[in-house]
Amino acid sequence: MFDKVLIANRGEIALRVHRACKEMGIATVAVHSTADAEAMHVRLADESVCIGEAPAASSYLNTASLLSAATITGADAIHPGYGLLSENAEFAQMVVDHGFVFIGPSPDHIRMMGDKITAKEAVRSLGVPVVPGSDGAVRDEARARGVAEEIGYPVLIKASSGGGGRGMKVAASADEIGAAFSTARAEAKSNFGNDEVYIEKYLARPRHIEIQVLADGFGNVVHLGDRDCSLQRRHQKLLEEAPSPALNAAERAAIGQTVTSAIGKLGYLGAGTLEFLYEDGEFYFIEMNTRVQVEHPVTEAITGIDIVREQIRIAAGLPLGYAQEDISLSGHAIECRINAENPETFVPAPGRIGLYHPPGGLGVRVDSAIYAGYTVPPYYDSLIAKLIVHGRTRNEALMRLRRALGEYVIEGVETTIPLHVRLTEDPNFVNGVYDIHWLERFVGLK
Ligand code: ADP
């Protein structure tokens, strides 16, 4: 096992990785920008290194600084968290080339899944159902028109290197395809430096359901059930639950089986998530995330498995300690993403936190790196806390969520808590009747 792990991230996920390390007897190294000198992940780590100026490009994305920090502190391995460099194949390769262990899959698998076209092709060839669309990239408007006619409007034009919900354009009819195609390409070029796009059937009212997997270096692959992440605004998830209220046990087992078999054949290593759209009883793969996800705690709540600990064990060359039949899903869990944002306009609201009182009690978990007197910097993601509740049933989890949201006090910055409170009172949410477009209608209603 590793003696020391460098955590190449900040905020709640840096703390999350630190916690897993401490429970495994591993020393931690925090890295931070000049803006994060007082951050909780820095205060709690055994050692810390300042790696650059406030903008992420100068610090958290500065690979030379990160590798120097690992060298001078004598770390054995690097955990990238999520976002930042977590899905950067070149970084993973550099980590390995400098003699450290990258806590994640191989650079080749990161690269394969980072390009949505190769990802789709790879999983399709392994028996995973995908959204109907162009086989591969679409390079000119005539071809775009042809594909759209074939699969039928509406269609979605997507950037092959897209991410974070950006680089997607819908064309409702033949009149719109020309403009949608050229804007999608231009946006892909300016956002991701690559104008390659592909086309998919635009699903009208799907749910977003994803499957968490773990795979070790000995050929063992398990899935940890599903998460429903349909509550999104601008393709950004706001609330997630596990298991999905839309699936029955047979559907869950069938998709789990399909996914584990594909991941096994791929020879994938570590934790990963296959994301699907689900409509009328059918699953359609959209992408794979080759890292731990923001919403992983809902799966931990219903399985009792510490996903970050498993990532570290697998990277250290240990086998999974259980088989699929040892994993059972117990009860229901819901996670609310609490962002420092105006809950109506979603404009980021960085600032100094005054009074801070997180909720507690049975079945309540808060993953956060904020504290009273902490200043939320304007440079990074606005996620400041995740509230996760677990109950024996979905109804118990919902009652607990209302109770916990009512206790949560964060003064000094605006947060999305009032929106979550409104959600828990809405009959559609309470009954689990929603799709990926539902939240946008809900926030539009006011
Ligand atoms: P990103 O990497 O930017 O998150 P994804 O491919 O995961 O992109 O898609 C993000 C979200 O966009 C999905 O959760 C869903 O809400 C929507 N989406 C993606 N593909 C389709 C599609 N074919 N039809 C309808 N909505 C889609």
Distances 144 to 26, 130, 179, 186 between C-alpha atoms, Å: 52, 19, 11, 15
The answer, yes or no, to whether any atom of ligand 1 lies below 6 A from the CB of 162, is yes
Taking the centre of ligand 1 as the mean of its atom positions, its distance from the CA of residue 226, in whole angstroms, is: 17
Residue 87: count of CB within 10 angstroms of its CB: 21
Residue-wise DSSP of 382-401 = -EEEEEEEEESSHHHHHHHH
Q: Whose CA is nearest to atom 11 of ligand 1?
A: 235
Taking the centre of ligand 1 as the mean of its atom positions, its distance from the CA of residue 235, in whole angstroms, is: 7
Residue 445: predicted pLDDT: 57
Output the six-digit token pair for 15.
């703390």
Q: Is residue 10 flagged as an active site residue?
A: no
Taking alpha carbons only, the member of 395, 391, 392, 415 closest to residue 405 is 415
The answer, yes or no, to whether any atom of ligand 1 lies below 6 A from the CB of 231, is no
Give the Cα separation of 407 and 360 in Å (integer): 8
Query: pTM here?
Result: 0.96
Taking alpha carbons only, the member of 205, 444, 215, 402 closest to residue 313 is 215
The answer, yes or no, to whether any atom of ligand 1 lies below 6 A from the CB of 22, is no
The answer, yes or no, to whether any atom of ligand 1 lies below 6 A from the CB of 156, is yes
Taking the centre of ligand 1 as the mean of its atom positions, its distance from the CA of residue 268, in whole angstroms, is: 23
Domain 4-85 shares a fold with domain 207-443: no
Taking the centre of ligand 1 as the mean of its atom positions, its distance from the CA of residue 286, in whole angstroms, is: 7
- Divide the 446 residues of the chain into consecutive groups of 10 and give the mean pLDDT of each group: 98 98 98 98 98 98 98 98 98 98 98 96 97 93 95 95 84 95 93 93 97 97 98 94 97 97 98 98 97 98 98 98 95 98 95 98 98 98 98 98 98 98 97 96 77
Residue-wise DSSP of 397-442 = HHHHHHHHHHH-EE-SS--SHHHHHHHHH-HHHHTT---TTHHHHH
Distances 70 to 38, 51, 132, 210, 317 between C-alpha atoms, Å: 20, 11, 44, 33, 20
Q: Which atom of ligand 1 is nearest to the CA of 201?
A: 23
Give the Cα separation of 9 and 56 in Å (integer): 10
Residue 32: predicted pLDDT: 98
Architecture of the structural domain at 132-201? 2-Layer Sandwich (3.30)
Residue 446: predicted pLDDT: 42
The answer, yes or no, to whether any atom of ligand 1 lies below 6 A from the CB of 383, is no
The answer, yes or no, to whether any atom of ligand 1 lies below 6 A from the CB of 217, is no
Q: Which CATH superfamily is domain 207-443 in?
A: ATP-grasp fold, B domain (3.30.470.20)
The answer, yes or no, to whether any atom of ligand 1 lies below 6 A from the CB of 27, is no
Output the six-digit token pair for 196.
């390659």
Give the Cα separation of 207 and 204 in Å (integer): 10
Angle among Cα 126, 129, 131 to the nearest 5 degrees reads: 130
Q: Which atom of ligand 1 is nearest to the CA of 164?
A: 3
Which residue in 16, 291, 313, 394 is the catalytic one? 291
CATH code 3.40.50.20 for 4-85 = yes
Taking the centre of ligand 1 as the mean of its atom positions, its distance from the CA of residue 156, in whole angstroms, is: 9
Find out whether 261 and 278 touch, Cβ atoms under 8 Å: no
Domain boundaries in the chain?
4-85, 132-201, 207-443
Q: Whose CA is nearest to atom 17 of ligand 1?
A: 235
The answer, yes or no, to whether any atom of ligand 1 lies below 6 A from the CB of 87, is no
